[in-house]
Amino acid sequence: MEIRTPLRQFVLTELIYCDDINVFDDDEDLLEAGLDSMGIMRLIMFAEREFKVTLPDTEVEPDSVRSINALIGWIEEHRK
Amino acid sequence: MNLLTAILQQVEEYPDAVALQDDTHELSYQSLALKIGAVCLAIRKAGVTPESRIALAMDRGIDATCALLGILAAGCCYVPLDINSPEQRQQFIVEDAQAAGIIGTGQCPSRWSNCNWIDFNTLTEHDCQFPDTGSTPLAAILYTSGSTGQPKGVALSHRAILAFTQWATHLLALNSKDRIASLAPLYFDLSTFDIFSSLAAGASIDFVPKQLAMAPSRLSAWLAERNITGFYTVPSVLGFMALKGNLAETPLPALRVLLFAGEVFQTEQLKRLVEFLPQTRFYNFYGPTETNVCLYWPVDAERLVDLKPIPIGKPASQNQVKMNPDNGELLVKGPTVMNGYWNEGRLHPATDDDGWYATGDQVSINNHGEYCYHGRLDRMMKCSGYRVEPVEIERAIQNLDGVQMCAVIGIHDETAGQRPAAVIVANTECSIQNLRKTLATLLPAYMIPSRWKTVPALPLMANGKIDYSALDNLFA
């Protein structure tokens, strides 16, 4: 299952409003773009439910969710 | 007696005990008193007279707490600013409060070059006598979102804050062995517990590093390492800890009490937290800034049932409460109720002739005789513990270039409670991304709508007013 598209869709439209999700750079800093602790919590609940992963508590850190690419790397690591 | 009386007694009795600490510093009660003296002296030297308002432009922590107590020692009233909020908003508050001075750190920002600026970093410790001002003067003005479209100041006397903090100290049997974690910004009324209940009891306040709110397992580890015994915060922080706080591996045996307020704690999350922390007592505190905590519910684990909201409980802080039988509105009367709203340099009382304050919150009474919260009677919303008046957002958006009309509603959010969403009628060349950028210079982050819709016209009811319920469907 490809996770980039649904993940981008959720993060960019539900957590940080983005006019045109096609131009958002996957390395852009999400925390600077407005992702806050509540957003991180929603994001984790979404990822665990949609991608059937368990993200370890000790890895829930600002750096794990700093960009779309960081997020994908983090989630993929736990889908193996 | 005022807010400093009990703290100064602790200074006399236990000068060497730790009053304030963070990850790198600690300050004894004796050193705290000397810092308070330095601030008090600087205020007097600046020619500020007692009962003036002084704005506090410092982030929460050891220094800001010293500055805050120094303001009170000088007989003045503190007005905490959110230094991360847009400059324009801070400026509005400084002007509306008619602040006689501003305490900050470093060089005075150019926007305040005409103000009486006190640089905290240049102050040295000073032994000083503080006259007891009594409990009648104003101690704090906490600005909150206003339904007139501008922030409004909730003015609290020493007496009002004391009535809550003394009640809480007594309820929780706070004492000199307690270590209280503090995460609340000073412009949130939760901080009055952290500072005044803790210090009056001779406990020590430990400031939680801000970034831990985004790393729940490190927050749990921090609470464990620092042997924290009490923590008063918002449910969203505790909910995140329940979900991802690694609590199975991090027992918190020292944690006696957890208090929460500011928003509804999802029962499933609370239940999970209670199961992880069987030795901790939990309390749901309820009350708008205008009344501070006027109702409370000691959490009864056996009554936590999934999907069933927890009650807000019975009267706290010697307040009286009643329900308006016509619309279910909660009314409060008693010692913690504010003196009024501060606006343009004077106080505007907001209670009826008999002293009752109408909260705007709709409640019912359950068969245990406890109050239960059902939401707002007006359009005010709660976003991550912050109260937000949609009118304030609408007014800011409506003034932006290219926007013809705007309506803001709260949409349900499983973690934040509600989030603002904006529906606008705008010119075709108007970009929402640009609107958001401009808005970020006018409103704090939690007030920026997370979702936007552009429509040709706003839906209206037969009487010509905006049909807000129809707007809900746009975000379904």
B138-152 tens-digit pLDDT: 999 999 988 888 899
Q: Which residue of B has its CA nearest to A32?
A: B445
Is any Cβ of chain A less than 8 angstroms from the Cβ of B216? yes
Q: Which of B215, B240, B452 sits opposite A61 (nearest CB)?
A: B215
Taking the Cβ of residue A75 and every Cβ of chain B, the question of whether any pair is shorter than 8 Å is answered with no
Q: Chain A, 3-42: which have a CB under 8 Å from a chain B CB?
A: 14-19, 34, 36-38, 40-42
Place of tokens 């958002």: A24
Question: Rounded to whole angstroms, how far apart are CA atoms A5 and B95?
Answer: 48
**For the whole model, what pTM was predicted?**
0.91
How does DSSP classify residue A52? T
CB B235 within 8 A of CB B262: yes
The C-alpha angle with vertex B378 and arms to B355 and B162, in degrees rounded to 5, equals 40
CB B103 within 8 A of CB B57: yes
CB A46 within 8 Å of CB A10? yes
Give the Cα-Cα-Cα angle B58, B61, B62 (nearest 5 degrees).
105
The answer to whether residue B438 neighbours chain A at the CB level (below 8 Å) is no
CA separation for the pair B189, B376 (Å, rounded):
20
Helices (H), B84-197: 87-97, 158-171, 190-192
CA distance B156 to B391: 24
| Nearest residue in chain B measured CA to CA from A24 | B433
Digits of tens for pLDDT over chain B (476 positions)?
999 999 999 999 999 999 999 999 999 999 999 999 999 999 999 999 999 999 999 999 999 999 999 999 999 999 999 998 899 999 999 999 999 999 999 999 999 988 999 999 999 888 888 878 889 999 999 999 888 888 999 999 999 999 999 999 999 999 999 999 999 999 999 999 999 999 999 999 999 999 899 999 999 999 999 999 999 999 989 999 999 999 999 999 999 999 999 888 989 999 999 999 999 999 999 999 999 999 999 999 999 998 889 999 999 999 999 999 999 999 999 999 999 999 988 999 999 999 999 999 999 999 999 999 998 999 998 887 788 999 999 999 999 999 999 999 998 876 667 889 999 999 878 888 889 889 989 998 889 888 888 999 999 888 888 888 889 888 87
Interchain CB distance below 8 Å, B244 and A36: no
Burial label, B30 (beta-carbon count in 10 A; 0-12, 13-18, 19+): middle
User: What was the ipTM of the complex prediction?
Assistant: 0.88
For residue B248 the two structure tokens come to: 């199975």
The amino acid at residue B287 is G
What contacts B135, CB < 8 A, 6 or more positions away? Answer: B1, B2, B157, B158, B159, B162
- Name the minimum distance, in Å, from the CA of B475 to any CA of chain A: 11
A42 and B413 within 8 Å at the Cβ level: the answer is yes
- Tens of pLDDT, residues B311-364: 999 999 999 999 999 999 999 999 999 999 999 889 999 999 999 999 999 999
DSSP line for B431-451: -HHHHHHHHTTTS-GGGS-SE
Question: CB count, 10 Å around CB of B77?
Answer: 25
How far apart are alpha carbons B144 and B289 in whole angstroms? 8
Please name every residue paired with B298 in a beta bridge, in sequence order, or none if there are none. B283
| CA dist., res. B291 & res. B156, Å (int) | 9
A60 in B contact zone (CB under 8 Å): yes
Beta-ladder partners of B199: none
Chain B partners of A57 at a C-beta cutoff of 8 Å?
216-217, 244-246, 249
Tell me how far apart the alpha carbons of residues A8 and A71 are, in angstroms, rounded to a whole number: 10
Take residue B236 and report the two structure tokens written for it: 């969203």
Host H or E run for residue B418: strand B417-426
Report B:372-431 residues touching A (Cβ under 8 A): 384, 413-416, 431
